[in-house]
Structure 1
Amino acid sequence: MLPPSTAILLAGLVATTAGALFATNTEFDWTAIEPTEDLRYCDCFNGLRCARLKVPLDWNNPKDNSTIAIAIATLPASVPVDHPDYGGTIILNPGGPGDSGVNLVRLSGRHLQKVIDNNKKYDYLGFDPRGLGNTTPQLDCFGGDTLARNAYQQVLRGLGTVDSSEDALRRFLAISKGLGALCENTLGKSSIIEHVTTAAVCRDMVEMVDRVDELRKKEVALLKHRRGEQGITTQENQVPRLQYLGFSYGTYLGNTFASMFPGRVGRMVLDGVIYAEDYMQGLWHHNLVDTEAVVDYFYDTCYEAGDICPLRIPEDVNGTSIRRRVDQFIADMDVLPAYNAEGTSITALTGRDIRDSISQALYRPILSFPPLAQLITDALEGNFTLLTNTVTPDDIQTDCATGSQIFSGEAAYGIVCSDAAGSQTKHDLTYYSDEVKRFMSQSITFGAKWATIPFQCSGYLLAPMYQFRGPWVTPPADSSLKSGVPAAPLLFLSNRMDPVTPSVNANAMSAGHPGSAVVIQDSVGHCAIPAGWSGCTNQILRDYFEFGVVPRNGTFCAASCKPWQENDEGCNLLSFENNGGW
């Protein structure tokens, strides 16, 4: 889960460590690929295969000829599709909502291959869901006007946090209503914004599964024909099933798919679990249970690291004393903001900016705790360069080979608000004030920012065309591929402490899926697999995808990677490939 950017109203459920949600590549032009109703791959991204799959804009209206072109990138398996060790395709989703599956497979596909491949070898497929990234049309409420979007960001940044004053809250709600009107006016009804719900993406995934299976059968038949062998077997005539790995919001997507299409589930791993009913109701009350514990973990491990952590001073006696100093500094900066003047630029800095830096670092402690400690240490000493670099407004667009690529902000807005359509549009100021207090009572570090995720939907008045509102349940699994039921129980993963998807969510969601299991990894951060190398978790994943077996519910796995230490090869590999990729 990614908190709303300090510069735009967006929700997200996976944070990057490098800041850029969309990487660029000057060697590939998506517009050169013709969208087709079958999968037609071409080479891309140094060993990947890319395609654009044409699907209906509105799955419920066969008379509407409008279509979407879904961008797909696949890392091929290390064996041919007719090899006995070939295990099929695993579809990936990085979360967000609004994050790019194409980028996930580009930046982290080979790492996942090392984690999951064992006796069976898999293709890894990432796609950009409808409305965002390289999928067209994009959900762009500003009509391609970069200056207008950046001006909007500046206005948001100047509002102050929603907990700072009633005036700031009023203004935030007003501009949220303005965003709803802007999107409706710019895009119009019966446009992409009415067709970006999670349910619509689930239906897209059914199509992807079918087209992947269709292509596999064609390739197998061709290879067998060349060898003079017979065609497909009876087993291969079974209905195609999804193999899936979803992170954060991707767990809501997977949970929804399983509940809508239980007979299409082959394997499903959900890592960093969203509480589905809470998300669908637009409340976001079940996310910050462990947030302040992760903040304390930062200070406690800093103290334990000794001289490795620059934030620790001789007078400190524990992590609490470090936090007490920093909290006082944050409070002082809220009262008397600082400034940083470099070159021809001036930046005003408040305690909010330090809290934002802390909250972002909670997602990836191994990568982010050391630089966070240095940033705070510098600020305490009056050097605000590092802090300034974190609060300089992001450019909402990045240059790509095909021109400008829209950032995921409006797509995230459209997905979140259409999934929970109508949940935030009829409340008064008292309701929102009470909600701010609720979020702040959960987390003083994250609460004000987190509140803006549901609040941004106060102006979303459109009625989505395709919704799923639960229940999130499946019938018991049957490995014999019985029609209408999953082929294997669902597997839920969680860290021991997660700043935005606590482990209690995994247990709650698992209860709706008979035979499913929750695995808790002894690590801290957002989502277990990105949090650090765990031989125990990796083996569970390998056995699950190969055999469809889950471990005992509540299994606890140790992890090799911790912050403030020299990590082993697996952690270094994860850090390298995870740089902006999750």
Structure 2
Amino acid sequence: MLSSLLLLLLASLSIRLAAADDDELPQFNWTSITPARDLEYHDCYNSQFKCARLLLPINWLDANDTRTTAIAIIKVPATVPESDASFGGAVFTNPGGPGASGVEFVLLDGRNMQHRLSRNQNYEIISFDPRGVGNSTPQSICFDEQLARDAMVLQMLGSGGLNSGLATVRYTHALIKSYSDVCERSDAKTGPIMGFAGTASVARDLVEMVDKTDELRAREGNGRGGGKARLQYIGFSYGTILGNYFTSLYPGRVGRVILDGVADADDYSSRLGWLTNLQDADAIFDQFFEGCFRAPPSACPLKQANDSSAAVIKARVTSYLSSLDTLPLAVMGRDNVRVITGDYVRRMIGDAFKFPIYEFRPLATMLAQAMAGNASALVTAFTAASVPKLKRSVGVGRSIPPYTQINEASQAVLCSDGQDVRDVSVAQWQTYIARQVQTSRIYGAYWSELRFACSSWPFVSNWRFTGPFGSPSPDAGLKDDRPAAPLLFLSNRLDPVTPLASARRMAAGHPGSGLAILEDMAHTVFIQNNSCIDGIIHDYLELGIVPAQEKLCNASCGPWEDCPIERLHLY
């Protein structure tokens, strides 16, 4: 996970960031591309990809506002010429967030996605850094230097979780206020963007990207132009919010839309929202222990020889977490003392729920070692996840790598999309926190911080859409105001932050839509290779067909088995 401002406070619908280190990615100087009002692709990233910077209005609601944003776009070209009969056009994608980089996602996983989507059709994969994010300019950024950003993280680490008591809530509320003031001052100098970063504006940007893609094909003799092109799209986690906004605002521009790991858009855009996300989280916690009890000790060292049930293992771990609440663990790290609290270990456990096949075994080993008195692995994970390396920050100026400010970009979006909460009292926030903890004892305190982070947000969104979220019945005849095909929703049986119930609620607003359920637990379905799910996706993209009823697909492998792992870097 990324070490940056309020990492423990601000996050996305899926808070695990790309596992790859920035040093593993090829480098490219985006300023070498001059932004243009038409798509002009250039070789980039060692000529392995195509990149463009598309100049778009900052304010879509005022034609007289001449300010612009340059959107960074990246493409994996199709493996066949655009004139080939098997060319299926562009599939746009968003990996989640908000605040996640589509550019980084394509660098890491674009070709894998292209391979997974191809059956009889060959697609080009396009993604982008949404306005304010990453390589798009201007950036949603609050700090001039990394040292100041890291100092905020250290203050948060010392405050404890929001369920620690009223004093912690008051302290965090004040910290957020000071942070919001910093953001307001910075945006006045480098923006404006934070008041224009909402998802409705991003959806309108996406309309323009679809049209400009079609215009480029027309210029090259492979498209029709004319501004009525249809979107083909796969959105993950927050990307389902973007897809739902797009479909609800522009139903006549929908070709194919797949939403995987579905968030409830009504809850997302409400006042004290984000209340529907965690209903599966603690059920996954229970499944962690059930699987551990059935697994051999070599796979789950938390299991002891005399354990009679999964409940015994769970009770032992829960007792350990409670002991850290009472007396946090101080451990000497490589260069400093680390203090591990129960709240933070719960966050780490909740993070592991996102991809159990990848995370459950390491989590079990780390917990077993810590409970036996060896917390070195726990400290290593804690340090890598959230402790700034201040010695590396000294002297850093404005040339900050794009993804140190992911949480500033994230907050600019989610606070713009939700209702203004600046008038909510500390007492009301404490009630809200208690409600989240009641839903999930593991993840509730953390999750409450997402909306709490907006408690002093000073920017008024210029375009805030609150629904209705839905669309007319689809029409394959391409009527102007109707989707060309029903939407396809994907969900795991258990998802820690975007539960199946949300997918069902959102699907109900889009007549004729289909829902495929993977009998597994993880955050998003596409993150796991599954032939049943892939077949449904192929049928949908090629033919516009969705399951008439909820389609169940069996899991390919379980977290306590030896599984082939090919992990996408979703958020």
Q: Same fold (TM over 0.5)?
A: yes
Where 1:311 maps in the other structure, the secondary structure is coil
Which secondary structure state, in structure 2, belongs to the residue aligned with residue 245 of structure 1? strand
Give the Å deviation of 1:478: 0.4
Number of aligned positions between the proteins: 560
Q: State the SS of the aligned residue for 1:70.
A: strand
Per the alignment, residue 105 of structure 2 pairs with: 104
Q: Partner of 2:249 in structure 1?
A: 260
Deviation at 1:124, TM superposition (A): 0.7
Check 1:443–1:215 CA distance in 2 against 1; reply closer, same or farther (3 A cut).
Answer: same
CA shift for structure 1 position 286: 0.3
- Bigger mean CA offset, 110-119 vs 269-278: 110-119
Alignment map for 1:38-53 (pairs within 5 Å): 38-45=38-45, 47-53=48-54
**Matching of residue 462 in structure 1 with residue 459 in structure 2:** yes
Conserved 8 A contact 2:8-2:446: no
Is 1:290–2:280 an aligned residue pair?
yes
> Deviation at 1:317?
2.1
Offset of 1:333 from its aligned partner? 1.6
State the Cα deviation string for residues 192-225 of structure 1 (Å, max 9, x = none).
111100001001101100111111222335xxxx
Match for residue 360 of structure 2 among 356, 369, 377? 369
Which residue of 1 is the match for residue 154 of structure 2?
154
2:238 alignment counterpart: 249
User: What amino acid is the match of 2:137?
Assistant: T
Contact 1:7 1:157 survives alignment (8 Å)? no
1:280 aligns with 2:269: yes
**Distance of 2:193 and 2:53 partners within structure 1:** 17
Q: Distance in 2 between matches of 1:509 and 1:519?
A: 13
Q: Is the 8 A contact 2:5 2:153 kept in 1?
A: no
AA partner of residue 43 (structure 1): D
1:23–1:103 Cα contact (<8 Å) kept: no
User: Quick one: distance in 2 between partners of 1:464 and 1:293?
Assistant: 36
Distance 1:565 1:256, change over 3 A: same
* 1:222-273 deviations in Å (ceiling 9; x for gaps): xxxxxxxxxx67xx76820110000011101100000000110000000011
Cα gap change, 1:238/1:477 in structure 2, threshold over 3 Å: closer, same or farther?
farther
- 1:121-140 superposed Cα distances (whole Å, 9 cap, x missing partner): 10111111111111111111
Aligned-residue offset at 1:456: 1.0
SS of the equivalent of 1:323 reads: helix
Secondary structure of the residue aligned to 2:455 is helix
- Structure 2 counterpart of 1:544, from 518, 540, 544: 540
Larger mean CA deviation between 412-421 and 56-65 belongs to 56-65
Deviations 1:488-533 (A, max 9, x none): 0011110000000100001101111111111111111101111x22
Q: Could you tell me how far apart the structure 1 residues matched to 2:95 and 2:435 are?
A: 28
**Whole-Å Cα distance in 2 between the matches of residues 35 and 394 of structure 1?**
37
> Any stretches of 5+ residues in structure 1 without a counterpart?
222-231
Where does residue 490 of structure 1 map in the other structure?
Answer: 487
SS of the aligned residue for 2:93 comes to strand
- Partners of 1:437 and 1:363 in 2: how far apart? 23
Mapped partners of 2:217, 2:426: distance in 1: 55
What's the offset of the Cα at 1:474? 0.6
Moved more, 172-181 or 48-57: 172-181
**Length-normalised TM-score, structure 2:** 0.93
2:197 corresponds to which residue? 196
Partner of 1:419: 417
Residue identity matched to 1:163: N
Which residue is 2:550 aligned to?
Answer: 554
* Residue aligning to 2:96: 95
SS in 2 for 1:178: helix
2:526 to 526, 529, 532: 529
Counterpart Cα distance in 2 of 1:566 and 1:489: 37
After superposition, where does 1:63-212 map in structure 2 within 5 Å? 63-142=64-143, 144-188=144-188, 191-212=192-213
> Retained in 2: the 8 A contact 1:355–1:445?
yes
State the secondary structure of the residue aligned to 1:505. helix
- What secondary structure is seen at the aligned counterpart in 2 of 1:81? coil
Structure 2 distance, partners of 1:560, 1:214, is: 42
Aligned pair partner of 1:519 in 511, 516, 521: 516
Paired letter, 1:370: R
Is 1:431 matched with 2:417? no
What letter is aligned with 2:9?
L
Distance 1:67 1:485 in 2: 30
User: Distance in 2 between the 1:303 and 1:328 partners?
Assistant: 17
Decide which of 283, 295, 306 is 1:305's aligned counterpart: 295
Q: What CA distance in whole angstroms lies between the structure 1 residues aligned with 2:109 and 2:483?
A: 27
* CA–CA distance in structure 2, aligned partners of residues 35 and 447 of structure 1: 43
Shift of 1:21: 8.4
Indicate how the Cα distance of structure 1 residues 186 and 27 shifts in structure 2: closer, same or farther if over 3 A, else same: closer
C-alpha contact (below 8 Å) 2:5/2:405 kept by paired residues: no
Q: Distance in 2 between matches of 1:155 and 1:90?
A: 42
CA distance in 2 between partners of 1:24 and 1:55 (Å): 31
1:324 is aligned to 2:321: no
Instruction: Give the SS at the match of 1:188.
Output: helix
**Does structure 2 conserve the Cα–Cα contact (< 8 Å) formed by 1:33 and 1:51?**
yes
Are the counterparts in 2 of residues 103 and 126 from structure 1 also a CA contact under 8 Å? no
Q: Helix, strand or coil: the match of 1:408?
A: helix
Counterpart contact for 2:10–2:450, Cα < 8 Å:
yes
Alignment of 1:371-390 (within 5 A): 371-390=362-381
Cα deviations by residue, 1:39-89 (Å, 9 ceiling, x for unpaired): 111222352211111111111222222211111111111111111000000
Tell me the SS of whatever aligns to 1:34: coil
Q: 1:219 to 1:476 in 2, by over 3 A?
A: same
Partners of 2:179 and 2:29 lie apart in 1 by: 31
Instruction: Quote how far apart the aligned CAs of 1:427 are.
Output: 1.7
State the secondary structure of the residue aligned to 1:529: coil
Q: What SS does the corresponding residue of 2:218 show, helix, strand or coil?
A: helix
- Secondary structure, aligned partner of 1:386: helix
1:324-352: CA deviation from partner (whole Å, max 9, x where unpaired):
11110111121122221134311111222
Quick one: structure 1 residues 9 and 403, their matched pair in 2 at CA, closer, same or farther if it must change by over 3 Å?
closer
Per the alignment, do residues 26 and 474 of structure 1 end up closer, same or farther by CA in structure 2, a change over 3 Å counting? closer
Distance change in 2, residues 1:482/1:551 (3 Å): same
Tell me the CA shift for residue 319 of structure 1. 2.0
Q: Which AA in structure 2 matches 1:539?
A: G
Q: TM-score, normalised by structure 1?
A: 0.91
Instruction: Name the SS for the 2:202 alignment partner.
Output: helix
Q: Is the 8 A contact 1:494 1:503 kept in 2?
A: yes
Q: Give the alignment's Cα RMSD to 1 decimal.
A: 2.4
Q: What is the one-letter code of the residue matched to 1:303? A: F
Separation in structure 1 between the aligned mates of residue 23 and residue 470 of structure 2, nearest angstrom: 36
Partner Cα separation in structure 2 for residue 156 and residue 492 of structure 1: 37
Which ranges in structure 2 are unaligned for 5 or more consecutive residues?
none
| Distance of aligned partners of 1:119 and 1:487 in 2 relative to their CA distance in 1, 3 Å threshold | same
Distance 1:507 1:343, change over 3 A: closer
Q: 3-state SS of the aligned residue for 1:460?
A: coil
Residues in 1 aligned to 2:346 and 2:21: alpha-carbon distance in whole angstroms: 21
| Matched AA of 1:416 | L
Q: What amino acid is the match of 2:192?
A: S
Decide whether the 8 Å contact of 1:275 with 1:286 is kept in 2. Answer: yes
Percentage identity across aligned positions? 39
Match of 2:401 in 1: 404
Contact 1:365 1:563 in 2 (8 A): yes
For 1:110 and 1:341, the matched residues in 2 are separated by: 42
1:344 aligns with: 335
Aligned counterparts of 1:27 and 1:315: Cα–Cα separation in 2: 53
Deviation at 1:581, TM superposition (A): 4.9
